[in-house]
Structure 1
Amino acid sequence: MKKEEIIEIINKNRANLDCLEKNTDYILKASDMILNCFKNGGKILICGNGGSAAESQHMSAELVGRFQKNRQALPAIALTTDTSIITSISNDYSFEEIFSRQVSALGKENDILFAISTSGNSKNVIKAIEEAREKKMKVISLIGQSGKMKELSDLVLTVDDTVTARIQEMHLLIIHLICQIVEEKY
């Protein structure tokens, strides 16, 4: 990789940050939804594939553990971590149901599904959203520019890019901002 290519990536992230700055109201709204969920005895179920699975686990760790300060543990579950559940559902049903079956088992009306997909079209994440809707859960989606998840969610946080790595970098920033805002209330 040449120096110019590195600078181009840095400049693209600057542009993404500028776009993100215009969407701070959505970040605040997502944080408020999560705070209300916790206040009403609910929990956050988080899902995604690949890098988004890692971000699911990262978000869950920040909420259950801590982000920056010691505080009470907050109820968040990454649906991406139990290999026995994931492989048994994949084998016995289909990969498309790995998250929806967990939402069916664990989700309740006061809960939120936090769904992450750079494309906004991951079939197993969409099935999880549909199951969450059946259970009257709220859905917050974190996506790239567009996708089917956009029309299925209560709140959508978008990153105006098509490069997976750039989208994931902004997703992590959004997750950290939400965790910081939520943690400030505890």
Structure 2
Amino acid sequence: MCHETIYQALYVQGLGERRRELTKALRTGRAMRKPHRLAHKRQPRYSASMVMLSERLAEADDRAVPGHWEGDLIIGKNQLSAIGTLVERSTRYVTLVHLRHDHSAVGMRDALLDTIAKLPAHLRRSLTWDQGSKMGRHHEFSVAADMPVYFCDPAGPWQRGSNENT
């Protein structure tokens, strides 16, 4: 539990006379909690704009045409090792992406390009990923592989169900 959770619980529970006592006891003396993160001050996650999953072609949704992939990154103990997974949506074929020593955004881009290059052209239609920082170079990957990258909504792992279940 973090301090932010404790403060929010205090502000929610205070009613009537309890609220007045609470505001006197708090260091700031405020009756309302001031949020620390303001929406207009947030930085965009990626430098290149993301294409959301809702814009993906319908042929990928019904799993009729092979070549649409779902990807994820599995990081090992103490973040010392990592491996990427790619699952093809229609056939459920799994390919592992070997990340040698570096599992940064650049390392992920290069490893994905190496893995995708081994596939035939008709099996390189699209890639769906979560909004993790390891796909920070998604635009460079998309241009180099000639393969669009789509992103799931935040905290929506079910949107890549094949990959999560695998």
| Range of TM-score over shorter length | 0.3 to 0.5
User: Which structure dedicates a bigger proportion of its chain to helix?
Assistant: 1
Normalization by structure 2: what TM-score? 0.41
Mark the structure with the bigger radius of gyration.
2
Q: Relative CO higher for 1 or 2, CA cutoff 8 Å, sep ≥ 6?
A: 1
Normalization by structure 1: what TM-score? 0.38
User: Which structure dedicates a bigger proportion of its chain to strand?
Assistant: 2
